[in-house]
Amino acid sequence: MRSAPGMKMARRRFLVSLPLIGITTRSAFAADAAAVPPPDAQRDALAVIARRFEKESGGRIGAHLFCPETGAALSWRGEERFLMCSSFKASLVACVLERCDRDVDDLTHRLAFVDSDFKDNWAPVARANRDAGSLSIAALCAGAVTMSDNICANMLLRHIGGPAVLTRFWRESGDDVTRLDAFEPELNRPSADPQANTTSPVAMARTLHRLIHGTLLHPHSAALLRGWMISCTTGTHRLRAGLPPHWVAGDKTGNNGKDISADIAFAAPEGQAGKSVIMTAYTAGGTPDETRFRKVFRDIGALAPQLVG
């Protein structure tokens, strides 16, 4: 259903009032261009980090880092599949924003809570607003990304038509790998179908690049997504932990409380958006603990500055 004219105008005023948060035009390069081989030292460093984690935890890790401007890239198990867990929420919010760009949806529209959602779900934003009975789509988007609120995500996922619609969004945006098959919290659990609810580090890095730097979203919508990811509260001890203090980063994490931890991120030196790096990392299996998670994600993130030269 298309928004009423008054609602369209309200949304446009809402978007125009927002800063672009460092958005730059990136038509001069593409994420799918052939990667420039990184120096052996960088490639070896990622291998050492990954092998140490896999030996100590008994699981596996996949990672992909690339600089869109130079094409320099690092990868470990980059084409293998991993469960996304809550890291899918960045794409979900992008899908919602793209619907708003087409006037199919409106950020000011409110969605009502469903009582059954409040059972066994991490939901700090939804629970804090339960008495209000509803939240705007904008607030649900913010909650899903900045606080990884599962109820906010499930409400948005239902609103757009379910996991299959998000999977179609990925396909139409050029991602032939990533797929979603379930809602929270079921999507965090292994399925009889090994491809269910999974992505690969390379596929998600390319998707994140297209969402953040490409033309899939209106510039103001891309700015919203960037801003919410920069304000993400759950990634303090993941990829961004390895970056220099003067870098600006946004991310979306995921985990299953056991062997899986995930993080997808973009980062650049402050005031130098033309020197950006896209990073994705996922773990699976074994018996890793939080100390190992923190170290491996921090060490991978610390490789990012070496890709921009």
2 within domain boundaries: no
157 within domain boundaries: yes
Catalytic: 87?
no
Q: Is 153 helix (H, G, I), strand (E, B) or coil?
A: helix
Domain total for the chain? 1
134 within domain boundaries: yes
Residue type, 155: M
Q: What is the pLDDT of residue 29?
A: 37
Q: What is the CA 290 to chain-centroid distance, rounded?
A: 20
Q: What is the pLDDT of residue 162?
A: 98
180 within domain boundaries: yes
Q: Looking at the chain, how many residues does it have?
A: 309
Q: How far is the C-alpha of 182 from the C-alpha of 172, rounded, in Å?
A: 20
Residue by residue, pLDDT tens for the chain (309 residues) are: 333 444 443 444 344 344 333 333 333 334 444 456 567 899 999 999 999 999 999 999 999 999 999 899 999 999 999 999 999 999 999 999 999 999 999 999 999 999 998 988 899 999 999 999 999 999 999 999 999 999 999 999 999 999 999 999 999 999 999 999 999 999 999 999 999 999 999 999 999 999 999 999 999 999 999 999 999 999 999 999 999 999 999 999 999 999 999 999 999 999 998 899 999 999 999 999 999 999 999 999 999 999 997
18 within domain boundaries: no
Q: CATH number of the domain at 178, please.
A: 3.40.710.10
Using a 10 angstrom Cβ sphere, with 0-12 exposed, 13-18 middle and 19 or more buried, the burial of residue 59 is middle
Q: Is the pTM of this model over 0.85?
A: yes
9 within domain boundaries: no
Q: How far is the C-alpha of 178 from the C-alpha of 196, rounded, in Å?
A: 9
209 within domain boundaries: yes
The catalytically annotated residue of 57, 86, 148, 261 is 86
Q: What is the pLDDT of residue 10?
A: 43
Q: What is the CA 148 to chain-centroid distance, rounded?
A: 11
Q: What is the pLDDT of residue 14?
A: 44
Look up the domain containing 34 and give its range: 27-307
242 within domain boundaries: yes
Give the end-to-end CA distance of the chain in Å, rounded to a whole number. Answer: 48
